[in-house]
Amino acid sequence: MLRNKIILIIIFVISIVINQALSYHNNKQIGIVSGKVLDLKNAPLPFVNVFFTDGMEGTITDENGNFKIETNHFGKRVLRVSHIGYEQKDIDIVIKKETPIVLNITLDESYVEMETVTITASSFTAADKEGQTLTSLDVVTTAGAAADIFKAIQTFPGVTQVDEGAGMFVRGGDVSETIVMLDGATLVHPYRYESDTGGYFGMINPFLLSGTYFSSGAFSAKYGNALSGILAMESLGMPDCKSIDFGMGLAAISLGTSYPIIPDKLGVRFSGNYSDTKTLFKVNGGTEKFDKFPLSWDGNLSVIYKYSNHGYLKYFNHSAQDDIGVLYESPTYSGNFISGTDNILNNVYWKQMFGKKLLTKSSLSQNRFHQDIMVGNLSLKNSDVFTKWRTDITYTVSKKFKINSGFEIDNTESTVSGSYPDDENNLHPDAASITFSNDYSAFHNGLYLECEINFSQRIFTISGLRFDYLNEINTYTIDPRFSIGYRFTDTQILKLATGRYHQYPKAQCIDAHYGNPDLLPLEAIHYVVGYELKSEITNFRAELYYKDYNELPIKDYEQNFASDGYGYSYGADLFVKGTLPLISGWMSYSYLVSERKELEHLKLVPTDYDIRHNFIAALKSRIGERNSFSLTYRYTSGKPYTAALNQWNSDRLPSIQRLDISWSYFTFFSGRNFLVLYAAVSNLLDRRNIYGYRYNPEYTERTELKSTFGRSIYFGFSISLR
Amino acid sequence: MIRNFLVLLMLTMPIFSQTIEEYILQGKEKIESARLQWNRKGMLEARAVFERLLIKSDKDWLLNYYIAYCDYRLTNYAFGENDKKAARKYVSDGIKKLKACVNEKSDCADAYALLSSFYGNKIALNPWSGFWNGPKSGKMIEKAFSLEPNNPRTHLISGISSFYTPEKWGGGKERAKESLSKATELFYDENVEAIMPDWGHSETYGWLGLVELAMGDTNKAIINYKKALEINPDNGWVKYRLLPQIIENNE
């Protein structure tokens, strides 16, 4: 027993001696890696993590950026240098015995940690994310926007408001030149109470949206068949809690609910809105005489199935209907204008991440639209069925290089039938009319490829190429697009963008009988220079642009239409958004010149939407924790109108001023439930702005088209139960 | 005999290969030591340990959690130094790491609770962002509660959040006191694996003391501070700041 113990003690001593010897031997043959870590301005970076990737050997730099690692593992190794807010760097080194390595390492500031840069000029993003330009809450708290995303975007620069409607006239482009998309589906008729200037409201409620991207020009190759602007919206995703929202106002009632059936796996959302404006007009009066007060409803259903952490499927349905009967007055005819519209969108959206680098988004959608219009002896029935498949693919090669590609295939089936007056100036119901029926069918496909490259911490580019083909006129177009951003300080960016854009002529222009099937696609070339300053409390943007239009359709006595029209627009947009302790909001100013030789305008003249000066201030203030006030002031210089035969747009209407204010009161009750009370006064200055004239054929008599309301009020409440 | 020799040789050999668990425990100790001493460099050293471990571990979610926890502490230092730029970086990194954590382990209540706190920090950085970060913070804490109703750190974070949120917006001192008191009870019963998150016991009493003080009860505040020191006599925050402050003010 004792003998064993003695042996063990001897072994223990021998072990220590051997280990000491080994340790001594290792210390004698140590490799040393030392150096300094600096930022791009050569300032030392303290507390940077410097370590070998094949073990736990490592250190952090001292206050002066210096580090030193001693190792007894020799040969090829990788030294990783990592610091929050900086790009991680891996350095290959070969460690040799007794040969110290000294390194001077420079780290670039990281892309992901810095504020997101919208490289594309002229674009605004809207989402419930910090730092974004417009949130859903901004939309509903902007006075005068009537909780309408289109009307809220009209407070941004580059968008001209030609009347009291929601029409998006972007940088000297017609309302039809801005396409509106939802989860990849195109909304062919994105307005309610549709008119030739768009419509009175947008089709989609802002509370259905999780994000919106709006571009007023030089947009990427992802978007085709649009000459001027893009409004791409994304609907809400998986509900994470049960909720019921109920709202009631002077002219509307709404109910919405969301329900996670299997949390984080399967969820459903539903909302319905019903609007009857009778009481609103009774309370506020109004210039229009209604036979049938504007009435509309819509229902929205979405079902989201998240089948894995990498993908989900979303079905979205939007069904809407509106009706209106209003007195139409012109020097030659007075009678009721009756309109009824049905608009249904079905969309299946699939988003899937393959591995860590490949993201695909696909949408299969159908938008069915039907409209009946009747005024005097003019009667129109219009049905459109637009079916589309779109897929977008993003492959992230590295943080510095990304490839976007995708395609869209769509089919339009359209029928227009009815009767139109034999004498276009005589709408009397007893006057002679001609019946007609027209079918239109078109198949379009588009394809794009785009590269996003961050050449350095400072320079970003997007280069893209787009191909589109329309079978109806058997024409294809190829559009190159390019934008570059240069971040010359942490907060300031300079952007340049250019591109060619095409849009197919309207169906009636290429109709074999009434139009000209040989028309070319309309073309615009955009040039944009922009400057942006993004600080913690302010976002300032200034942009100059020039757009060159060609191949515009123009009336032609022999061919009905010819592609001989042309035009241009140029201008400057200024935008400042700020957050101060008591007040927040934004101001925008746009200067615009837009002239075209197009359609009936047989010489180069200002367009109907050539509004030279447009100034908007949308300000909000919170008083205490519950009350918030908002104010929107708009000044718009007079738009052109035609006051004499063939003197197109030679005169200008008076300028328009409008002041809207609103108040809301917000309070929680029983936990996370909340109540919002709100009231708004529109057109506080009670100005009867003139938005146009209707003339008789001889231009000797006219009637004024004025603001629908003078000073008017609206109030209501909403309750959210969670 | 040879076996004995080899065992002894191994025991006396310098440690070349520790297990991941051992490294995590060392990292946790580093965090705790840095936290108690309000030592920014120490916290960054602890963070560096977890970052190095990420390369070799299959416990990514836990390492991401600890890196985010370091970020959480570093955010507090940055706030203390009024360095908003640094705070923003830590908050952003912390959220990223916690998202990676819950992506891998979707039932990690501790991660959701910390996420809630980071969204609260975002509001501190930009009060207007409360409109969207407030609900996000609320959802995260709810998720944490739904996963582990008796996790003391969720109650602690909820209590801190209530302390800074006005009563009208669903917060207030009473609520804070309620949550923190509940947390103190739960900490006594907490029994988790050594490598799992277990921070906050002593700290909770510090917060409870602060709430009592804000409610005007200095004596209760002092009792709570003392309890904090009973649990951890090295709690520098209570020992060198909260307690001396209250004594100084009383004098």
**CA A436, A439, A443: angle at the middle one, nearest 5?**
160
* pLDDT greater than 70 at residue A4: no
User: Could you give the residue ranges of the DSSP H alpha helices within chain B?
Assistant: 2-12, 20-36, 40-56, 60-80, 84-104, 109-125, 130-147, 152-164, 173-189, 201-214, 218-231, 236, 243-250
**Are the beta carbons of A452 and A402 closer than 8 angstroms?**
yes
Please state, in angstroms and rounded to a whole number, the distance separating the CA atoms of residues A287 and A274: 23
pTM above threshold 0.80: no
CB atoms within 10 A of CB B192: 10
Residue A234 to residues A134, A137, A213, A484, A491: CA-CA distances in angstroms? Answer: 14, 16, 9, 26, 28
Query: How many Cα neighbours within 13 Å face the side chain of A33?
Result: 30
CB atoms within 10 A of CB A108: 14
Contact map slice: B 146-185 vs A, CB within 8 A: 166, 168-170
CATH number at residue A576: 2.40.170.20
Overall domain count for chain A: 2
Q: Which residues of B touch A49 (CB under 8 A)?
A: 44, 47-48, 51-52
**CA A7, A11, A17: angle at the middle one, nearest 5?**
145
Q: Three-class SS of residue B6? A: helix
Percent of chain A with pLDDT over 70: 91
CB atoms within 10 A of CB A28: 10
Place A553 in a pLDDT band, splitting at 50, 70 and 90: very high
| pLDDT recorded at residue B208 | 94
| pLDDT recorded at residue A571 | 95
* pLDDT greater than 90 at residue A226: yes
Please state, in angstroms and rounded to a whole number, the distance separating the CA atoms of residues A180 and A191: 10
Please state, in angstroms and rounded to a whole number, the distance separating the CA atoms of residues A448 and A184: 15
**Are the beta carbons of A35 and A105 closer than 8 angstroms?**
yes
| Ramachandran angles phi, psi of A216, nearest 5° | -100, 10
| pLDDT recorded at residue A133 | 56
**Are the beta carbons of A376 and A333 closer than 8 angstroms?**
yes
**Tokens of residue A92, six digits:** 């290959």
| Ramachandran angles phi, psi of A695, nearest 5° | -105, 160
Task: Kindly provide the residue ranges of all beta strands, DSSP E only, lying in A265-400, ordered along the sequence.
Answer: 266-276, 290-308, 311-329, 334-354, 358-375, 378-398
| pLDDT recorded at residue B246 | 82
State how far residue B43 is from chain A, nearest Cα, in angstroms: 10
Facing B45 at nearest CB: one of A60, A85, A536: A60
User: Are A710 and A582 part of one and the same domain?
Assistant: yes
To test the contact with chain B by mutation, choose from A56, A134, A676 the residue with the greatest count of B C-beta atoms within 10 A, namely: A56
Place A144 in a pLDDT band, splitting at 50, 70 and 90: confident
* pLDDT greater than 60 at residue A127: no
Facing B126 at nearest CB: one of A8, A84, A130: A130
CATH number at residue A82: 2.60.40.1120
**CA A354, A359, A361: angle at the middle one, nearest 5?**
120
> Distance from first CA to last CA of chain A, Å, rounded?
76
A85: nearest CA partner in chain B: B89
Tally the residues of chain B.
251
Please state, in angstroms and rounded to a whole number, the distance separating the CA atoms of residues B216 and B209: 10
User: Are A567 and A419 part of one and the same domain?
Assistant: yes
Does residue A393 sit within a domain?
Answer: yes
To test the contact with chain A by mutation, choose from B131, B136, B137, B164 the residue with the greatest count of A C-beta atoms within 10 A, namely: B131
**Are the beta carbons of A509 and A483 closer than 8 angstroms?**
no
Mean pLDDT across the stretch A452-462?
Answer: 86
Please state, in angstroms and rounded to a whole number, the distance separating the CA atoms of residues A332 and A492: 57
Least confident of A575-584, A680-689, B192-201: A575-584
To test the contact with chain B by mutation, choose from A4, A10, A11 the residue with the greatest count of B C-beta atoms within 10 A, namely: A11
Closest CA to A71 of A49, A99, A109: A99
* pLDDT greater than 60 at residue A386: yes
**Tokens of residue B76, six digits:** 């507090």
* pLDDT greater than 70 at residue A18: no
Q: Label residues B148-171 b or e (16+ Cβ within 10 Å = b).
A: beebbbbbbbbbbbbbebeeebbb
To test the contact with chain A by mutation, choose from B7, B12, B22, B125 the residue with the greatest count of A C-beta atoms within 10 A, namely: B12
Q: Three-class SS of residue A173? A: coil
A622: nearest CA partner in chain B: B128
User: Are A86 and A235 part of one and the same domain?
Assistant: no
- DSSP assignment of B135-167 equals HHHHHHHHHHHHH-TT-HHHHHHHHHHHHHS-G
Question: Strand pairing of A101-107 and A31-39?
Answer: parallel
State how far residue A403 is from chain B, nearest Cα, in angstroms: 24
| pLDDT recorded at residue A399 | 77
Closest CA to A213 of A345, A323, A109, A116: A116
User: Are A83 and A223 part of one and the same domain?
Assistant: no
CB atoms within 10 A of CB B96: 17
Q: Label residues A569-593 b or e (16+ Cβ within 10 Å = b).
A: bbbebebbbebeeeebbbbbbbbbe
More confident residue, A333 or B222: B222
State how far residue A559 is from chain B, nearest Cα, in angstroms: 57
**Tokens of residue A95, six digits:** 């460690």
In tens, the pLDDT along A355-376 reads 889 999 999 999 999 999 998 8
Least confident of A20-24, A104-108, A179-183, A629-633: A20-24
More confident residue, A65 or A489: A65
**Tokens of residue A142, six digits:** 């902007």
Domain chopping of chain B, boundaries: 24-126, 150-251
Does residue A112 sit within a domain?
Answer: no
Closest CA to A331 of A693, A691, A703, A690: A703
CB atoms within 10 A of CB A69: 18
Does residue A146 sit within a domain?
Answer: no
Does residue A161 sit within a domain?
Answer: no
Does residue A627 sit within a domain?
Answer: yes
| pLDDT recorded at residue A536 | 62
More confident residue, A713 or A144: A713
Helices H / strands E in chain A, number of each? 4, 43
By residue range, what is the domain housing residue A28?
2-107
Q: Label residues A4-13 b or e (16+ Cβ within 10 Å = b).
A: eeeeeeebbe
Single out the residue in A68, A92, A107 at which a domain terminates.
Answer: A107
Single out the residue in A107, A130, A159 at which a domain terminates.
Answer: A107
More confident residue, A492 or B207: B207
Single out the residue in A107, A135, A170 at which a domain terminates.
Answer: A107
Closest CA to B185 of B160, B162, B208, B169: B208
Contact A672 B170 (CB under 8 A): yes
| Ramachandran angles phi, psi of A121, nearest 5° | -70, 165
- Say if B8 is an interface residue toward chain A (CB within 8 Å): yes
A20 membership: H or E segment, kind and range? helix A2-28
| pLDDT recorded at residue A100 | 86
| pLDDT recorded at residue A130 | 38
Average pLDDT along chain A: 86
Contact A625 B168 (CB under 8 A): yes
Residue B132 to residues A257, A344, B138, B145: CA-CA distances in angstroms? Answer: 19, 31, 10, 21
In tens, the pLDDT along A21-64 reads 444 444 456 888 999 999 888 899 999 999 998 878 889 999 89
Per-residue pLDDT 10s for chain B (251 aa) are: 444 444 444 444 443 456 888 889 999 999 999 988 888 899 999 999 999 998 877 778 999 999 999 999 999 999 988 888 899 899 989 999 999 999 888 889 999 999 999 999 988 887 767 767 787 888 899 999 999 999 999 999 999 999 988 777 778 899 999 999 999 999 988 888 889 999 999 999 999 999 999 999 999 999 999 999 999 888 888 888 888 888 877 76
* pLDDT greater than 80 at residue A297: yes
State how far residue A60 is from chain B, nearest Cα, in angstroms: 7
Closest CA to A212 of A119, A317, A137: A137
**Tokens of residue B148, six digits:** 């582990």
Please state, in angstroms and rounded to a whole number, the distance separating the CA atoms of residues A699 and A674: 57
CB atoms within 10 A of CB A473: 18
- Say if B41 is an interface residue toward chain A (CB within 8 Å): yes
* pLDDT greater than 50 at residue A678: yes
A261 membership: H or E segment, kind and range? strand A252-262
**CA A10, A13, A17: angle at the middle one, nearest 5?**
135
- Say if A580 is an interface residue toward chain B (CB within 8 Å): no
- DSSP assignment of A398-429 equals ETTEEEEEEEEEEEEEEEEEEEEESSTT---T
Place A116 in a pLDDT band, splitting at 50, 70 and 90: very low
Facing A60 at nearest CB: one of B48, B92, B128: B48
Contact A130 B52 (CB under 8 A): no
Does residue A432 sit within a domain?
Answer: yes
In terms of Cβ atoms closer than 10 Å to its own Cβ (0-12, 13-18, 19+), residue A83 is buried
* pLDDT greater than 90 at residue A196: no
Q: Give the CA radius of gyration of chain B.
A: 20
Please state, in angstroms and rounded to a whole number, the distance separating the CA atoms of residues A166 and A160: 10
Q: Out of 3.10.20.90, 1.25.40.10, 1.10.10.10, 3.30.230.10, which CATH number does the structure's domain B150-251 have? A: 1.25.40.10
Does residue A435 sit within a domain?
Answer: yes
Contact B48 A671 (CB under 8 A): no
| pLDDT recorded at residue A128 | 41
Please state, in angstroms and rounded to a whole number, the distance separating the CA atoms of residues A503 and A501: 7
Contact A240 B1 (CB under 8 A): no
Tally the residues of chain A.
722
> Distance from first CA to last CA of chain B, Å, rounded?
71
User: Could you give the residue ranges of the DSSP H alpha helices within A260-361?
Assistant: 278-284
